[in-house]
Amino acid sequence: MSRIKVLSDVVISQIAAGEVVQRPASVVKELVDNSLDAGAGRISVEVDQGGNDRIHVTDDGCGMSREELPLAVHRHATSKIELESDLQTIRTHGFRGEALAAISSVSKVEIVSRTHGERQGHKLTIEGGEHVSLGPTGAAPGTSVRVSELFYNTPARRKFMKTATTEFDRVGQVVTRAAMMFPGIHFELSHNDRRTRNYTPAPSAADRLVQILGTETVEDLLPVDFANEDIQIEGFTSRPTTHRKTAGDLYFFVNQRFIRDKILMRSLSEAYRASLPQRRYPVTVLFITLDPAMIDVNVHPSKEEIRFLNEGMIWKAVYAGIRESLTGMSGGGYRPIASDQEPARSPILNAPKKEPAAESVSSFNEAPSTPFPEQVNEASEVALPVREEPVFEPRRESPSAEPLSSPGVHDLRASIEKLNRLPVTQPVRADTEIDLEDLETRDWKAVAQVFESFILCEAEGEMALFDQHALHERIQFEKLRKQHEEGGVSQQSLMFPMTFEVPSHQVPLMTDSIPLLSELGFEIDPFGEKTFAVRSIPSDLKMEEVEGVLRDALLDLSDQGMVSPLSDRAEKVIARMSCRSAIKANESLNLNQMQNLIDQYSS
C-alpha cells in the first residue's frame, strides 16, 4: 500500500485555515474585506468574548444568489479574478477564494444573503466544512456571516487563543484600519452586546481620523501630499512635538490595503531621525497609490505584506513627502468639512495625478542601507526606534520643567574653585556617574550642578555625578508606591475639571481603568462618547503633565492587559507619574535644592 495519500478537502481546508485564520481578528478581516469588495455602505461587526465564541459581520453590499452561496465556501472559487493576468492588476481586497472555505472548516458558519433584485434571501449552514442545509429565508439586501465556536474541531489551535480582551483589541484594530481607508462607509463594532465604536460616514479622511484619533491629535497633524509620475502619497503626519511611546499610531495603506513594510518604516524613521526624542514614534497615516503592476500582494496569507518592484523609489518618495511636510510646518493640518458635504468613499484613489515634484524619485533604484531591524511584526510591537542614536543638539526647556523653588543660578566657576580647595586623600575616581545605590552608603555633599542635568558630589575624598532626573524620579516612585500601599495617593481637586479625549479604540480600556486610576490620585468620569473629565489629580503632578501621564498609562495598560496583577498595573502607572513629575534635565538647581534631593534619597 502506498504511503503517499491525497488529503481530503476538509483536511486541506483545515491546513489552509492554519495560514489564513490565525485568530478571531483574521476572520473579521476576511469578512470585512468581502463586504468592502461587495460595495457595502454599512458594515457591522459583532463579537462575543473577543470573537472566541461568536463573530457576526453584516453588510448592505450586493449580496449573493442561491446558486452562488455554495460556491462562496468552495476552495478557490471567487468572483474577483479569472485569468492569470488578473493577478497583475488586483484592486480588490480578496482574490484567492479561500477565506470562507478555511473559516467554515474550523467553525460553525451561517451565511444569509440576498441580492438587491431578489424578494427573499437564502441561508447556508456549514459545520466543520460539511454542508448542513441551504434554504430560503427572510433577509434584507446584503450578506450576513455568523461564525460560532471558532476552532471547535481543532482544540490544539483553540488553546493558543489569547484572553478575550487581547483578541478583541486585535479585532478593533482591523475595523479601525478599514474605517481609515474608507471614510464614507459606516462601520460599527460591538463586543458582548455593547457597541464600542461607531464610525459614521465622514466627508474626508481627516474627519474620519478625528473620529478615530480624536480632535486634539488630528489638529496637530501636518498634511502629506507628494506625487510624481510613478506614485501618489497623501495623508497626515505629526509635528515633532507630538509623538508616542509605541508604533501603534503608524498606518500605511497601499492601493487601499493596510500593510506592514520595512521599507516604509525605514523611510519614515530617516525622515524623523533628527526630530524626535529617542525611542518615540510619530503619528502617521499615509495613503499610497501606484500602479498595481508595481507591487505583488500575493506574498503572504494575511495580505498585509507586499513586495515592491522598485523599493528605492518607494523609500525616496515617502522620505521626500514626510520631509516636505516637516520643513513646511507653518501650514495647518486638519480643517473640519461642512457636515452637508458628500461623504468620501475613499480618500485618494481616484484623485488626479499631481505634477511631478521638483526632486524626482525615479532615479533611486536601491533603498539606502540604514541599520534597521529585519522584521516588522504587529504595529504596536515594532522594535524600530524612530531615531536610532542620540542626536546631540541644544535642548529647549520643557514648559513643565519648573524648579521646586525659586532657582538661584549657581556659579559653576565658584564651585570649581571650591573643589580645588578640597583635601584629596586619594585619587579622584574616573567614573563620571555612579549608581544611585551609592547614595545610601556615604555622606555625599552637593558641590555643583553640571550641564544643568547632573549633581556633582563629593564624599571621603571622592567625586561622583548623579543624574538629577533619575534621582528625583526614584524618590517620587518610592513615595507614590508607599502612599498607594498605605491606602491611596494624595490628590488635589481641580477648580475646573479638565477634559481628556481618547481614541475610540481606547474608550473601553479607559473606562475599565478608572478604579485603578482612582487609587493613584485621579478622579475621572466619562464625559461623552470619547471624552473623560478629570476632576482630581495626584498632588505631585502638574496640570500640564496630566494628559501625557494618562496617554502613556493607557499604552502601558494596553500592553499588559487587564488580566495582569493589579499591583503590576499600578506600578506601571506610578512609574509614569514619577517620570513626569520629576525634575527634568536642563533644569537649574541651587545647592540647597541639590542637597535636599540627596538627603531625601539617603533617608
What is the pLDDT confidence band of residue 570, given thresholds at 50, 70 and 90? confident
Q: Are 538 and 490 in contact (CB under 8 A)?
A: yes
Task: Please tell me the distance from the alpha carbon of residue 116 to that of residue 64, in angstroms, as a whole number.
Answer: 9
What is the per-residue pLDDT across 470-529, written as a single tens digit (0 to 9) for each? 999 999 999 998 988 888 789 999 999 999 888 887 888 899 899 999 999 999 999 888
Topology of the domain comprising 9-199: Heat Shock Protein 90 (3.30.565)
CA 342/CA 102 separation, integer angstroms: 38
For 254-280, what is each residue's pLDDT tens digit? 998 898 888 999 999 999 988 888 888
Average the pLDDT over 112-141 and give the result. 92
Q: In this predicted model, what pLDDT tens digit does every residue of 6-42 receive, in sequence order?
A: 777 666 666 655 556 889 999 999 999 999 989 999 9
> Higher-confidence residue: 138 or 383?
138
pLDDT at 389: 39
Distance CA 101, CA 294 (A): 30
Q: Which H, E and C letters describe 509-556, residue by residue?
A: HHHHHHHHHHHCCCEEEECCCCEEEEEEEECCCCHHHHHHHHHHHHHH
pLDDT digits (tens, 9 = 90+) for 68-109: 898 888 776 666 555 555 555 566 665 556 788 889 888 999
Write the class of the CATH domain 205-381: alpha beta
Percent of the chain with pLDDT strictly greater than 90 = 38
DSSP 8-state code for residue 160: T
d(C-alpha 116, C-alpha 105), whole Å = 29
Q: In this structure, are residues 168 and 50 in contact, taking their beta carbons and an 8 Å threshold?
A: yes
Predicted local distance difference test score (pLDDT) of residue 395: 38
Distance CA(447)–CA(444), nearest Å, equals 9
What pLDDT is attached to residue 309? 87
- Spans of all domains in the chain: 9-199, 205-381, 398-603
CA distances from 307 to 240, 261, 388 (A): 30, 9, 25
Q: Answer yes or no: are the C-beta atoms of 258 and 322 closer than 8 Å.
A: no
Closest CA to 51 of 191, 194, 198: 191
pLDDT in tens, 337-374: 444 455 555 544 444 444 444 443 333 344 444 433 33
Range with the poorest average pLDDT among 238-252, 256-270, 412-426, 553-567: 412-426
What are the angstrom distances between the C-alpha of 463 and each of 156, 184, 447?
A: 61, 65, 9
Task: Give the model's pLDDT for residue 364.
Answer: 39
pLDDT bin (cut points 50, 70, 90) of residue 5 is: confident
Radius of gyration of the chain (CA): 29
Q: What is the CATH number of domain 398-603?
A: 3.30.1370.100
* Residue pLDDT, tens place only, 206-239: 999 999 988 888 988 999 999 999 999 999 999 9
